[in-house]
Copies of this chain bind each other. A is one copy, B any other.
Amino acid sequence: MQENSTDQPTPRRLKLTLQYDGTEFQGWQFQPNGPSVQQTLEEALEKLLGQRLRVHSAGRTDSGVHALAMPVHFDVDHPIPTANLPVALAKFLPVSISVLSAEDVAPDFHARHDAILRWYRYQIHLSPLRLPLGPRAWHVYRPLDLGAMEQGLALARGEHDFSGFRSSQCQARRTRLKIEQARLTRDGELIALDFKCRSFLQHMVRFLVGSVVAMGHGQIDRARLLRILEHGDRPELILCAPPQGLCLMGVAYNDAARQGMLAADPTPPSF
């Protein structure tokens, strides 16, 4: 096949922003026991471009966790116009994944390493009854003391060793992190817990939510939460909050985006 020299493809790095409903996926990363978002996206790219590419994401969401805006990057030497990718990929993706935007980025941009702020939201539906058509959330039927939960969030803010709030499989070397924002907003029966931090440990948000809910139920007090933060000894009764209430809301790569994310004040429900 003759190639037109003006169409000669040049290797380039692209950034996509994905939205996905994590319900039916085994998380972001390849898994032997079911489809992952990464595998599904790489297969869609292969069908569209005829090339097997490796995609790198800003974070590895767990099985069942959602993303409102997950940045990923990959290198490609295909002439497809960048702006065509979102609609072109839609033909090869399930309804649970969508590419919201595509842009060319510098060849050294890295979706994970260059992130300076990540925003996770956790939604709780507080009610004796479930609402099947309500927002994605952890259904908590026992009343919660929101004041106690606010106290827990206040303690979690700032710099701590979060060893007590991670999965036993977490391989991160640095466990000392600074939570820049941790706050609770309520809209009727819906409670949103927002956490903003440069990076998170595996299951960290879910264990923080489990701890704050344990405070809301009077199962642990401030002193007990402080002991987890200072000594990492998490009591058995603290649940890893279930995945369906958790969503990666966005990732910032420069100071303007970081400031915008810290100032954001969305009204629940968001997902």
- Interface positions, chain A 133-166, Cβ under 8 Å from B, are 133, 136, 139, 141
Q: Which residues of B contact A194 (CB under 8 A)?
A: none
* A200 at interface, CB cutoff 8 A: no
List the one stretch of A95-103, A210-218, A255-263 in contact with chain B: A95-103
Q: Which of B21, B90, B133, B271 contacts A129, CB < 8 Å?
A: B90
Cβ B21 vs Cβ A133 within 8 A: yes
Closest to A23 in B: B132
B130 engages A95 (CB within 8 Å): yes
The answer, among B99, B130, B133, B136, for a CB contact under 8 Å with A66, is B133
The interface residues of chain B lying within 8 Å CB-to-CB of A129 are: 86-87, 90, 98-100
Among B68, B87, B271, which residue has its beta carbon within 8 angstroms of that of A128? B87
Against B, the Cβ 8 Å flags (1 = close, 0 = not) of A196-230 are 00000000000000000000000000000000000
Contacts of A100 in B (CB 8 A): 129
When all copies of this chain in the complex are counted, the total is 2
Interface size of A in residues (CB-CB distance below 8 Å): 25
The reply on A19 being an interface residue by CB < 8 A is yes
B95, B130, B139: the one within 8 Å of A132 (CB): B95
CB interface residues, A 8-26, toward B, < 8 Å: 19-21
Asked if A105 CB lies within 8 Å of chain B CBs, one says no
Tell me whether A132 and B19 are in contact (CB under 8 A).
yes
Question: Is A131 interfacial (CB 8 A cutoff)?
Answer: yes
Is A251 interfacial (CB-CB < 8 Å)?
A: no
Residues in chain B near residue A141, CB distance under 8 A = 87
**A247 contacts the other chain (CB 8 A):** yes
Binding site for B on A (CB under 8 A): 19-21, 66, 68, 86-87, 90, 95-100, 128-133, 136, 139, 141, 247, 271
